[in-house]
Amino acid sequence: MAKYTRIEVAQTMGSTKIVPLFYHEDITIAKKVLKACYDGGARVFEFTNRGDHAHEIFSELIKWVNLELPGMVLGIGSVVDAGTASIFIQNGANFIVSPVLNPDMAKVCNRRKVAWLPGCGTLSEINYAEELGAEIVKIFPAGQIGGPDFIKSVKAPCPWSLIMPSGGVTPEEDNLKKWFSSGAYCVGLGSKLIFKNNNGDFDYEAITATTKKSIAIASKFQ
């Protein structure tokens, strides 16, 4: 079962504001990336469900995280149906992120009191997701939906909405400033945060440094 409550997940996302997201079929690489982000100050991490047997990798990864990375809240992303959500919940996922709004997933997550962040593209979808119990909603692909201006427009009539943009977010200060100034609660960062060096290997030291820098920038908008 989940180690952290829905409220604890939301609070941690709000305090660190940077949510790295990543998938790799090699668990050794996944561990190194997670550790690099952890060393940079990340305390929430979204492992994405994007490969065969991803649940098996996740199962091993979360056991390792609970032993070796105290305070790290590990969840799963790219989940689009209730059945898959159930599998990851059974494997200890602390939160479920989806690119879509699927009410059946809400039922599964709410039954087990697991945080659920559905993907939304309109204010009506955000409102519906909140009715279904979502504490934080994901907008995806954030850059294509309308960017920071979309969040600002949503927050005007609905200041209580907690929004995590994903897609179109980069770790540069100007970019992060635009998202957080518009009212983003936290942001999802993938390949722009977790990148490779010229040799084609993941640059763990640079990932740590970029994570630390991004969290420092985001902290200005508490």
State pLDDT tens for residues 84-117: 999 999 999 999 999 999 999 999 999 999 999 9
Q: What is the pLDDT of residue 120?
A: 97
Between CA 165 and CA 44, with CA 36 as vertex, the angle to 5 degrees is 40
Q: What is the pLDDT of residue 5?
A: 97
Distances (CA, A) of 117 to 29, 67, 86, 220: 26, 26, 15, 24
| Matching CATH number, 6-221, of 3.40.5.50, 3.20.20.70, 3.90.1170.50, 3.40.50.300 | 3.20.20.70
In the chain, the largest separation of any two C-alpha atoms, in whole Å, equals: 48
Domain edges within the chain: 6-221
Give kind and range of the element (H or E) at residue 86. Answer: helix 82-90
Q: Count CB neighbours of 123 within 10 A.
A: 14
Query: What spatial distance separates the first Cα and last Cα of the chain, rounded to whole Å?
Result: 30
Specify the pTM.
Answer: 0.96
Residue 61: half-sphere exposure toward Cβ, Cα within 13 Å: 33
Q: Which residues of the chain are under the pLDDT cut of 70?
A: none
Q: What pLDDT, in 10s, does the model give residues 180-195?
A: 999 999 999 999 999 9
Phi, psi of 111 (to 5 degrees): -60, -35
